[in-house]
Structure 1
Amino acid sequence: MNRLNVEQLKNRVELVNKHMELEGSSYDLEAGDVTIQSLIGNKGKRKLSTTQQGYQFYNLSHKGKHSTVYLHHIVMMLADAEEYIEQMAKGMTINHISGDKTDNRLSNLEYLSQSDNSVHAFAIGLNGKPLEAKITAYEAYEMLEGFYQSDKSLDELSEAFDIPVGSVNRILKGKSYTGLFVMFKNLNKDDVRPNHSKLTVGAVKQILDMYFNKGMKQGEIAKSHNVARSTVGMIVRGRRWADVFEEFTANRKEVIA
Structure 2
Amino acid sequence: MSEEIWKSIEGYEGRYEVSSLGRARSLDRETFYKDGRKGRVKGRILKGAYSKAHGYVVIGLDSKDKRVLHRIIAEAFLPPTEYKETVNHINGDKLDNRASNLEWASYKRNNDHARDTSLNSQHGINCNLSKFSEHTIKAVKNVAARFGLNSTEIAELFDMSETHARFILQGKTRKRG
Q: TM-score scaled by structure 2? A: 0.49
**Structure of greater relative contact order (alpha carbons < 8 Å, 6+ residues apart):** 2
Could you say which structure has the higher strand fraction? 2
